[in-house]
Structure 1
Amino acid sequence: FIHAPHAQSYLRQSNGVRVYISEREDICTCKKDDFVCLSIDNNIYYVAYEDDFGPMNLPSIFEFCDMVDCHLTSFPTKKIVIQTLATPQSRTNGIFLIGAYMIMRRGFDMGKVISLCEPAMKLIVPYRDVSPGKQNFFLDVKDCWGGLVKAKALSWVDFGADGFDVEEYMALDDPLNADLHEIVPGKLIAMRGPIDATNGQNWQDVQRMDGSFSHRVFSPNHYVDILQQFDVQAVVRRNEPQYDKQAFVDAGIAVADLSFEDCTSPPVDVVAKFLAIAE
């Protein structure tokens, strides 16, 4: 991580290092003879719910990896400087993305990623829950890297030529389409709980008190075709039922009710029942 007083001297060193990270203001006055800049915040962004700011999702990581590889190839004699805003949140996302690139495209293990990023680790902050107010749990960048390492090792995520369908992911991720994610390929899917829409509609937009758009809800009928494409056999309702399960049952999809208090850890008996269904 380079700062303004030493930026130019760092970038002129012949030390074999080709990728750096810096706050935008720190190198804006440097002569760009030896480097090119890649701004994260101008190209990749996180859509916040409340005060959350990350981590970035898989399409963002994939896009960042492609951008870095493209810059390294297009400018073979220059150093690449990843630029962030001068905020802890932006720095954190930048460092997370660089570590993710090392894991997904360079095959580095956790030890090497942490070692290379260690000088910048004191400048970052942990990720927080989407819920507003006081937090009782924080997610460290190292935990996110560890998840990527594990997912890659298990082939749950693959950034190879035919391993990741960005368009499908983004279409299903969109809260106006499905708000659905395949967590374990061929095994587990997470989605927003369906709600019975009025007049038998497949989806319905919800307005705020002032009449502006708030969010979109989906009925079971909307999800049936999507779940059948993934060969889903059972749906587990974690919250209190807000829809008639018959649409799923008629489509050959079983429904199990395993509700427990929101924002809490599931009781042991709920965990046992869930694992039995999953297996």
Structure 2
Amino acid sequence: MVANSDIVQSGSLNGNVVELLPKQLYFASFKAPPHKADPHVRYIDLDNRVHYEPFYGDFGPLNLSVLYRFTRYLHGLVEAQRKRKIVVYTDDDDRNRVNGAYIMGSYLIIYQGVSADAAYLRLETAQPPKFIGFRDAALGEPTYLLHLHDVLRAVEKAINLKWFDITSFDAEEYELYERVENGDMNWIIPGKILSFCGPHNESRVEDGYPYHSPETYFDYFRATNVTTIVRLNMRMYDAKKFTDAGFDHVDLFFIDGSTPSEKIVENFIRVVDNSKGAVAVHCKAGLGRTGTLIACWMMKEFGLNAAECMAWLRICRPGSVIGPQQDYLVAMQKFCWSMSQNNVVQKARRHNATDVAAKKSLGKLASKVDEISLSHPMRPTTLGENVVPRPRPNILPLRGRSKKSLDKNGNASTPTQELNSETAIDSQGRSQGDRLLAMKARSQHAPHVSSPSVHTAHLPTLSNGNILHDPSVYMNGRHSGSNRHNNTPSPFPLAQRTSAAIGLLAVSPRFSSPTTPIKPLSTPGSASSTSSRSRGIARNLASTLTPAPRLPLNGFRTRTLTGLFDTTTTPTFSSVFHRF
């Protein structure tokens, strides 16, 4: 912590100012914007330069493209303005504050070689107030919160495992292919695991949302050595389309919003281990079920814990792992770690009568000790560093569920809009995946409105000590910041040229991920830095779609650091994880 009269604004500081680089880089939170007249101090308002678009009550962490773009921008400032103090600050909204801490801690890890533990210890001095935990993209109250420390560890391990390289990461490609109209897909582990939205038998646009046929993905999958497709949802397309094209295809169905059985986990791990190339995994939205099984393989293959897996999944593909799937992954840690010997799936030990009797005896003994209590059957028991998994049903029960409340597919339905479980079908016949896809399409066309600030002084905490945010401020839709976008229709959703962006340089350009078509399709004779392979793949993805409305151009593309540090044109980055 640093007490500096040049930085601390009397009466406006929220928490403490943190010195991240000696006498140069600081992080702070202010109740009111700081005075910026001092020429020796450069203030960076992070809230106006990064943006996260929630599904429901989720608010971060900011996605990989935003992380890359802002840290790269910040590092250029640090290198170019060594004689000025740089203060990156947020307002006192706890969601913005923890996202700012995540970005600044990641900067230390990526560019300064600081460990995740050391970065967190520096940021910790900004407390109180305590950093709140990140929540999932589910409806209702969160049951699990992701700690800032876990997110920083995920970034560190991704760098160490070569999943993320700041010198070679292609933010434009990331932003292109995560858009719904371009395939709605993200690499979780480059060259090995890709997560994407479930295809349909035919390409079409329905209720403003574009659906893709298997053929749409052929060129991209071949170009990136994807050899195996794993489907986790109901059959929405003929798998023969993939197999006839030379791909392997595997079905491992389990109900939308639920958790997989041990057998499904074992089969999935075996499929990934035996695949000749990369594996593309999808469910309906490519978020909950997809992220859950990918996390199981990550724990088995690399020894990460559940929180680190969830953090990296959400950085790569926001919204991944939802509701009870979070606690399920924590409970499955030991099971997945046990399968890592020599890359061979080890069958879980089958419990015999002796095991059951021993467990009953242990339970009776534990119940007699005041300091020891048996955990909820749906939660793991933590003993120091060891996590003992509890048996979990494959399909989570619904409270107040009637035997007659099943749809034609055998999924539970609810007569009200209030859903009691992530597996529930709402009154419109939509499962969790359907609702998330609808949110993506709706948020594409809805104007962004501001949401109330949230402060830790008014928030409860969960049993693990993480502070709970207030989900009620989000329940009316996917709110963003104060920026508003006026959607203008165009028959060419990806054909906006760099020249049009250059004209906006004088009016505070805005980087946007993925709402701005950063990587437009080339027209004959136009100059483009996009590779011919990527252009061809993009054309194939776009060729099957009916032209859709485009978003306005609210940003520009810059490949070099030159020009990014003009104080009159500071870029803004947006982590918006709708794809359309």
Contact 1:3 1:26 in 2 (8 A): no
1:249 equivalent in alignment to 2:243: yes
1:136 equivalent in alignment to 2:143: yes
In the alignment, which residue of structure 2 is the partner of 1:183?
A: 188
1:261 equivalent in alignment to 2:245: no
Q: Which amino acid aligns with 1:138?
A: L
Matches within 5 A, 1:27-46: 27-29=33-35, 31-46=37-52
Give the aligned length.
Answer: 263
What TM-score comes out, normalization by structure 1 length?
0.86
Contact 2:199 2:213 in 1 (8 A): yes
Q: What SS class does the counterpart of residue 126 from structure 2 fall into?
A: helix
What TM-score comes out, normalization by structure 2 length?
0.43
Structure 1 portions without partners, runs of 5+: 208-212
Question: Following the alignment from structure 1 to structure 2, what is the Cα–Cα distance between the partners of residues 46 and 27?
Answer: 21
In the alignment, which residue of structure 2 is the partner of 1:210?
A: none
1:206 equivalent in alignment to 2:206: yes
Structure number with higher relative contact order (C-alpha < 8 Å, ≥ 6 residues apart): 2
Q: Which amino acid aligns with 1:75?
A: Q
Question: Following the alignment from structure 1 to structure 2, what is the Cα–Cα distance between the partners of residues 124 and 3?
Answer: 20
Distance 1:241 1:168, change over 3 A: same
Shift of 1:25: 4.6
Which of 101, 125, 130 does residue 123 from structure 1 map onto?
130
In the alignment, which residue of structure 1 is the partner of 2:276?
A: none
Distance 1:151 1:263, change over 3 A: same
Question: Following the alignment from structure 1 to structure 2, what is the Cα–Cα distance between the partners of residues 191 and 56?
Answer: 19
Which of 155, 164, 179 does residue 169 from structure 2 map onto?
164
Which of 224, 228, 232 does residue 230 from structure 1 map onto?
224
Contact 1:19 1:80 in 2 (8 A): yes
Question: Following the alignment from structure 1 to structure 2, what is the Cα–Cα distance between the partners of residues 52 and 138?
Answer: 10
In the alignment, which residue of structure 1 is the partner of 2:153?
A: 146
Contact 1:7 1:30 in 2 (8 A): no
Question: Following the alignment from structure 1 to structure 2, what is the Cα–Cα distance between the partners of residues 50 and 227?
Answer: 32
Shift of 1:144: 1.2
Shift of 1:85: 2.7
In the alignment, which residue of structure 1 is the partner of 2:112?
A: 106
In the alignment, which residue of structure 2 is the partner of 1:56?
A: 62
Which of 194, 197, 204 does residue 199 from structure 2 map onto?
194
Q: What SS class does the counterpart of residue 26 from structure 2 fall into?
A: strand
Shift of 1:32: 2.1
Contact 2:117 2:153 in 1 (8 A): no
Q: Which amino acid aligns with 2:261?
A: P
Question: Following the alignment from structure 1 to structure 2, what is the Cα–Cα distance between the partners of residues 126 and 182?
Answer: 25
Q: Which has the higher strand share?
A: 1
Question: Following the alignment from structure 2 to structure 1, what is the Cα–Cα distance between the partners of residues 74 and 148?
Answer: 20
Distance 1:79 1:7, change over 3 A: farther
Distance 1:120 1:175, change over 3 A: farther
Question: Following the alignment from structure 2 to structure 1, what is the Cα–Cα distance between the partners of residues 131 and 180?
Answer: 29
Residues 198-235 of structure 1, C-alpha deviation per residue, up to 9 Å, x if partnerless? xxx3xx3332xxxxx3x332221112222111111111
Shift of 1:277: 0.7
Shift of 1:3: 5.5
**Which protein is bigger by CA-based radius of gyration?**
2
Q: What SS class does the counterpart of residue 28 from structure 2 fall into?
A: strand
Q: Which amino acid aligns with 1:182?
A: W
Q: Which amino acid aligns with 1:166?
A: A
Contact 2:24 2:84 in 1 (8 A): yes
Question: Following the alignment from structure 1 to structure 2, what is the Cα–Cα distance between the partners of residues 143 and 261?
Answer: 28
Shift of 1:60: 0.6
After superposition, the CA RMSD in angstroms is: 2.3
Q: Which has the higher helix share?
A: 1
Q: What SS class does the counterpart of residue 190 from structure 1 fall into?
A: strand
Contact 1:92 1:123 in 2 (8 A): no
